[in-house]
Each structure stands twice: as structure tokens, then as C-alpha cells.
Chain A
């Protein structure tokens, strides 16, 4: 097995009012697309920001390691971190409308990364930026170099963001819901572009999303988060064929189109009763209040991630068959 490009170990993130991410662990291997899935508020975006140490004010990494390319980013010195950010590890944000600086020309914003990390001159950076704009499908790139973000549509801005993110040929690209703010047709184009670039540049992609359709189509492996914890990890195929965690099953049941016959015009969609807020103050499994399979032991302690098969882990004592262990304890 190849050594992972990124290994997140027991990452715990907290705000002054409480812990929001509890001991999350996952790996990203070179060249693969790994999807981090969960509903709003499950801690997936905050996890992504923590990887680059770009947490919002107040949030803090309380424990764990983020080993990227042999360096623990959670403990790295600020200047070492700055050398990694934008060069071998880059980020695309959810909102293309606000993630570009509105008062600077887009070309300059792309060139800025290369001038920072590769120390190239203004003219060379401009040439490279124009090439990048062409690469991400911005037509008439040379003229548009001097345009400002407000001259671009949402999809085009996200392309500019992608050009900026891949400018220094990163080894890992973190994409935080890159298509959530875009039209469905544009979504597919942007994801296809990301996938093309992943193959061309040989980079890995950590795709943060709540869209299972996107996961099924574009990801190699998937990590499902619920209330700040990883509940299931699996390659995409086995995950969609036989999801193990009751939450993952609930998610798949709640989406349309996987078995062909189910459609919202012919039957009601299933839903997971309750909301993620019910996890608050839960001593045991955070999903227990909403879980159809819960047993008494679920309320005792949060279940640990248990291996079910090669590369398939689940944090559910019922699914993992460890419920008797928990009862014995």
C-alpha cells in the first residue's frame, strides 16, 4: 500500500463553547479523489479549514495530527505552513462570488500565487496565468486577465478559483463544496474540469460535499461524517452497494435515482427523522436519537471506528457486530 499523501489522525477542533469535531481520522492517497460527506453543520468544512490551519477566529485545533507529505501541519511553524499553502496544498471555497477579491484584477490574483511560491517575474507570471486561464476554459484569456471578478459569472469565477488553486501544481486540492453555489449544468462542467486537472497534474482531491450524486460520480473513496465524527469510510462502490452505518443508509434512501424506479413523482422520499441538533448532549452514539436500529448499548459511549473489510470502516456497534462487546463492558 502506498503511504498516504495526507493522514488525518484523531483531529479534534473546538470553539470556546464546545468541541465540534471529535477525533476525525482519514487518509488521502496520491492521485485519488476522496469525498468527505455530511449534512450542514456536521463539521466537514471546519475539518477542511483545519487541514490548512485556516480556522475562523475562535476555533482551535485541540488535538490530533495532520500529516501532509511527512509534515505535521497541525504543529508546523507559520512560515513553514505558508510555504506549503498554495504550493503543494491548495483550497477552493464554496462561494465563487465572494472568494475572489472584488477590487483586484483576476489575472493578478492568479499570478500572485506563482510569484509567491516560484519567485518568477511579473511578465512570466502573467504568461503562466493566461495559460492557466485557458486551461480552465476561460476564452479570450489574454484580454480577460485584467478583468475584475464582477465581470465574470459564478461558474467562470469558480474556474478562475480553480486556476488559482492549481497554479503551482499542488499535490492535494481541497475543494469545499465547489459546486454548491452553481447551476446544475455548470456543476457538472466544473467537476469534470477538476477531474481532468486531477489526472493531468496527478494531484489528489479532497472533495467536501453533501451531494451523494457527486460522490458516486466523481469520488474514489468516501468518508461520511455525522455531528463531528466519522461514521463510515469505504471505497465508493461498496459504499453505494452496501452502506453499513444506519445514517449512510438513511442518506442513500433519502436520495433519488439510484435504483431507477424510485422517483418523487411515484412515491414519497424517505427521510431521516429528527435533526442533527439532537446529537447535542448525547453521551453515546450521536446518531442514536434518530437511529432505527439503536439498542440500549448505543447510548453508553460513542462507537469507535471498526474495520469491516479491507478499507471499509464503520462506527456503529450494531453494524460492526461489536454490540456484545459494548454490553460486556
Chain B
């Protein structure tokens, strides 16, 4: 029943489920990618402008692309079993190095976007619930509707026009000031400035979802008997909202947030491209256009791992929020 025991059980159970899931994902993706016309040799040859049949064959032999399909799969799985992700034909370096260079950026972006979506969404929803059907609620409803119905990349582009081009407040591209040798607080501030716009673009849709969800569940909680009990104890309305209402209202929001983590990773592909953010999403896009399947498989593997880990975190958060949820 203790929090630690509960966390331990969740982790064990998740590990058991995660392994077969990931192997399944890899095998499925492998075959799907092989259905795509063309391979890395084609792309390299096309970029070079011309290539002889012998050069093509040599390239294919070097990347193992001349092997039968099943042999290629077995070779990849064998590599994986030895914790190797293979070699990138396109970037000419080991896939694991490529991914490790990009993973922290994507993690940071996801974390920032998720935090922004939750904090802003919950706050907006709370304000909407408090002022239900009065003007602050109606105004926020319109804003939320715009966030909900506008694609994130368009909001991103408009934010670049406004904050970077017109106002010059925030940088439009990249993830850090190149060449600026910063340390300590200055480094963090520099990174944060680059993080604001892409996070906003990525989070906008989810801000809208969480705001609507929080509004609805806060209003729903107000009607519950235990709210009347709390008021009958003589508690201050703010205490009642913070201690008794909010936690109950957050349960549906965290459930949705858990489901959204995967979507967030998908959205990162677009947002990273718009903002030139050197993350896994853009790496995936480059891998697709370059037919660099080793890289793409590696990205997919890490993405699924990320989603699984994030879901465990959400599960734990959920169990803490709602003691009725016991991990079996």
C-alpha cells in the first residue's frame, strides 16, 4: 500500500509488457519501411548525380542491403540484442551516437511542451470554471477554441512573425545561441529563450484540450456532496477549491495527458522542422527522405521507449492523485 511498493510493482509490470511491445514495433516498422520504394543506395546515387551499376551494388553490399529481407531483419535484431543500433548510411556515423545527440533536445521540448500544456491548460480551465458563463469564461472559451482548431505549426509560424520578426523578443530558429560560450544561469536562460516558441507551438492544441477538460471536471466536482461537506466544516472557499476540488478534477486530465504523450512526439516532427530544432522528430524526417532505415528504426525504438516510460510516470502520478486506483 505504500507509495514505494506501488511504484515498484508498476515498474516491474511495465517492464514485462514493454519488451514484447517494442520488439513487435520494430518488426512491424521494419517491414513497413521495406515497402517504401527506393533505398539508401538510390538516394546517395541520385544525390551524386550519376552512378554505375557496380557502384550501386558496392554501396548495397556495404550497407547489407543486398541480403534477403529476412536476413536483414535477423541481422538487425541480432544487433539490437547486442545493444547496437547499426550504422547510418546517410550520416556516416553510428545510429546510437546520432540519437544520443538528438534525444536530450527532444526530451527537453516534450517536457517543456507538456508542462506548458498542463500548467496553462489547468489554470485556464480553473479560471473558466470559477467564472462559468460570465465574461472571463466566455473570452477564454474563444481563445481555447482558436488553440483547439488551429494547427500547431501555423500558430508556430505566426508566433515567429510576431515575437521574432516584429518584436524581436525571442529567437526563431535553433535550440541555443551558436558560439556563445555560456555557463550557469546564463546558459539556462539562453536555452529557455529558444524553448518558448517551439513549446508553445507544440502545446497549443493540448492547452485547449486540458483547459476544456479541467473546466468540465471542476464544474462537475462542485456538484459533489463532499464539496458541501467541506463547506459545512467552515473551510475557506480557496482551501475548498485547492484541497478538495482540484485533485479530484485533475484525475481525468492526467488520464488524457498520458494518452497524449505519443501524440506530442508525433507533433514534434512538424514543430522541430518549423523551428529548426535539432531533435529526434527532425532526425526521423531526414531519415525518411534519405531512406536511412537504420536511423529511422532507431528513432522509432527510442520513441516507443520514451512513450512507455512517460506512461509509467503518468501511471504513478495517477495512483498518487487517486488512491482508489490500485496497481494490480
Q: Which residues of A contact B (CB under 8 A)?
A: 49, 52, 54, 57, 81-87, 90-91, 93, 95, 98-104, 112-113, 116-117, 148, 150, 161, 164
Asked if A85 meets B323 with Cβ closer than 8 Å, knowing A99-B225, A103-B248, the reply is: no
Bound Cα distance from A81 to B233, whole angstroms: 11
Partner of A116, one of B224, B233, B248, B324: B233
- Beta-carbon contact of B228 and A99 below 8 Å: yes
- Beta-carbon contact of A103 and B322 below 8 Å: yes
4 closest cross-chain pairs (CB), A and B: A85-B234, A86-B234, A86-B233, A91-B232
Given contacts A54-B232, A85-B233, A99-B225, 4 further A-B contacts (CB under 8 A): A82-B235, A85-B231, A93-B229, A98-B226
Bound Cα distance from A205 to B230, whole angstroms: 20
- Beta-carbon contact of A87 and B234 below 8 Å: yes
Bound Cα distance from A90 to B230, whole angstroms: 11
The winner among A83, A87, A103, A164 for most chain B CB atoms within 10 A is A103
Residues of B within 8 A of A52 (CB): 231-232
Bound Cα distance from A187 to B16, whole angstroms: 48
Asked if A85 meets B247 with Cβ closer than 8 Å, knowing A103-B321, A103-B322, the reply is: no
- Beta-carbon contact of B226 and A148 below 8 Å: no
Residues of B within 8 A of A86 (CB): 232-235
- Beta-carbon contact of A117 and B234 below 8 Å: yes
Looking across the interface, which residue of chain B has its beta carbon closest to that of A98? B225
Report the minimum CB–CB distance from B211 to chain A (whole Å).
Answer: 22
- Beta-carbon contact of A150 and B323 below 8 Å: yes
- Beta-carbon contact of A103 and B224 below 8 Å: no
Report the minimum CB–CB distance from A13 to chain B (whole Å).
Answer: 16
Bound Cα distance from A164 to B234, whole angstroms: 12
Residues of B within 8 A of A104 (CB): 243-244, 247
**28 sample A-B contacts, Cβ–Cβ < 8 Å, listed by A number:** A52-B231, A52-B232, A81-B234, A83-B234, A85-B232, A85-B234, A86-B232, A91-B232, A93-B228, A93-B229, A95-B225, A98-B224, A99-B225, A99-B229, A101-B226, A101-B230, A102-B226, A102-B248, A102-B324, A103-B321, A104-B243, A104-B244, A113-B233, A116-B233, A116-B234, A117-B234, A150-B323, A164-B233
Report the minimum CB–CB distance from B1 to chain A (whole Å).
Answer: 9
Asked if A148 meets B323 with Cβ closer than 8 Å, knowing A104-B244, A161-B229, the reply is: yes
- Beta-carbon contact of B234 and A82 below 8 Å: yes
Bound Cα distance from A264 to B244, whole angstroms: 47
Chain B contact residues: helix, strand, loop or mixed: helix
What is the count of residue pairs linking A and B with beta-carbon distances less than 8 angstroms? 76
**B236 contacts partner chain A, Cβ-Cβ < 8 Å:** yes
Bound Cα distance from A95 to B229, whole angstroms: 11
Bound Cα distance from A102 to B247, whole angstroms: 10
- Beta-carbon contact of A112 and B233 below 8 Å: yes
Residues of A within 8 A of B244 (CB): 101, 104
- Beta-carbon contact of B225 and A116 below 8 Å: no
Bound Cα distance from A84 to B234, whole angstroms: 7
Residues of B within 8 A of A84 (CB): 234
Looking across the interface, which residue of chain A has its beta carbon closest to that of B229? A99
Report the minimum CB–CB distance from A120 to chain B (whole Å).
Answer: 15
Looking across the interface, which residue of chain A has its beta carbon closest to that of B324? A150
- Beta-carbon contact of B232 and A100 below 8 Å: no
Interface string of B203-233 (1 = CB under 8 A from A): 0000000000000000000101110111111
Bound Cα distance from A81 to B235, whole angstroms: 10
Bound Cα distance from A268 to B228, whole angstroms: 41
Bound Cα distance from A98 to B230, whole angstroms: 12
Looking across the interface, which residue of chain B has its beta carbon closest to that of A174? B232
Bound Cα distance from A82 to B225, whole angstroms: 18
Residues of A within 8 A of B235 (CB): 82, 86, 112, 116
Bound Cα distance from A327 to B27, whole angstroms: 94
For chain B residues 224-259, which have a beta carbon within 8 Å of chain A?
224-226, 228-236, 243-244, 247-248, 251
Bound Cα distance from A300 to B95, whole angstroms: 92
Looking across the interface, which residue of chain A has its beta carbon closest to that of B320? A103
Residues of A within 8 A of B225 (CB): 93, 95, 98-99
Bound Cα distance from A116 to B251, whole angstroms: 27
Bound Cα distance from A117 to B235, whole angstroms: 9
Bound Cα distance from A132 to B234, whole angstroms: 19
Looking across the interface, which residue of chain B has its beta carbon closest to that of A151? B323
Bound Cα distance from A148 to B235, whole angstroms: 20
Residues of A within 8 A of B247 (CB): 103-104
Report the minimum CB–CB distance from B281 to chain A (whole Å).
Answer: 36
Looking across the interface, which residue of chain A has its beta carbon closest to that of B132? A57
Bound Cα distance from A101 to B247, whole angstroms: 10
Report the minimum CB–CB distance from A53 to chain B (whole Å).
Answer: 9
Report the minimum CB–CB distance from A147 to chain B (whole Å).
Answer: 9
Bound Cα distance from A49 to B243, whole angstroms: 22
Bound Cα distance from A81 to B324, whole angstroms: 33
Residues of A within 8 A of B224 (CB): 98
